[in-house]
């Protein structure tokens, strides 16, 4: 079947746990999330703008 896949990490609950921890701590656990956060920090340094919390 097209589109049907199985993830043991999702079934065990590791994915959800990582997401909850990342949300509480404020640090992304994915490569894309880390790059986006680092990019925002660099841009805020150059533009002098602070991000709202």
Would residue 36 count as lying in a domain? yes
Q: Note the pLDDT of residue 6.
A: 87
Model pLDDT for residues 6-44, shown as the tens digit of each residue? 888 888 999 899 999 999 998 888 899 999 999 988 988
Neighbours of 19 (CB within 10 A): 13
Would residue 3 count as lying in a domain? no
What tokens appear for 46 in the block? 């150059």
Domain that holds residue 39: 9-47
**For the purposes of burial, counting CB atoms within 10 Å of the CB of 22, is it exposed (0-12), middle (13-18) or buried (19 or more)?**
middle
Q: Note the pLDDT of residue 50.
A: 65
Q: Angle CA(18)–CA(40)–CA(37) in degrees, nearest 5?
A: 15
Would residue 52 count as lying in a domain? no
> How far, in Å, are 1, 13, 45 from residue 35 at the CA level?
34, 25, 15
Would residue 4 count as lying in a domain? no
């Amino acid at each position: 079947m097209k589109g049907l896949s199985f993830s043991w990490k999702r079934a065990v609950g590791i994915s959800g746990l990582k997401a909850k921890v990342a949300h509480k701590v404020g640090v992304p656990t994915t490569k894309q999330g880390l790059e986006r956060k680092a990019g925002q920090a660099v841009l805020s340094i150059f533009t002098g703008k602070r991000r709202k919390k």
